[in-house]
Amino acid sequence: MLAWDSVHHHVPLPLSLQDLQLMFQADAGDMAAQNDFGQHLFLLDRPAAAVYWIEQAARQGCADAMQWLGVAHATGQGVERNEYLALMWIARAAAQGHVIARAQADGLLGPAALARAPPGTIAGCDFSRT
């Protein structure tokens, strides 16, 4: 760990005091802060750094982060484009009830597959344990 005061002048990002507080919360493992800070980094056009924080939140079960991570994999923003990982993350978010991810999964898999899927799954696949 490095003291922020000793390295902040090397960070080429316009971070406000609020941004810094969010970054410190994210660094401490706060899932919501990781998701929020990752989204903020996407807005600052730092996709690789954004994906790092979004993935941290997604791995802790944040459906919003899962959806963002799926889109990143689908578009190649911050990561190598990977349709399989894109679908996996979007399906995980959809299985948790994320509205945008459900619409994306509906577009990818079709409404019939979603209608037949048991609760907590997408098209019969349980992504909660993968």
Most confident of 33-37, 111-115, 120-124: 33-37
How far is CA 25 from each of CA 18, 30, 98, 129, rounded to the nearest angstrom? 11, 6, 24, 27
How confident is the model over 84-94, as a mean pLDDT?
Answer: 92
Give 10's DSSP letter.
Answer: G
Q: Nearest CA to 53 among 69, 34, 70?
A: 34
pLDDT band for position 110 (cuts 50, 70, 90): low
Structural domains of the chain in order of their starting residue, each with its CATH number: 15-116 (1.25.40.10)
**Mean pLDDT confidence for 93-121:** 73
Please report the pLDDT score of residue 10 as a whole number.
45
Which structure tokens are listed for 41? 């980094």
pTM for the whole thing?
A: 0.75
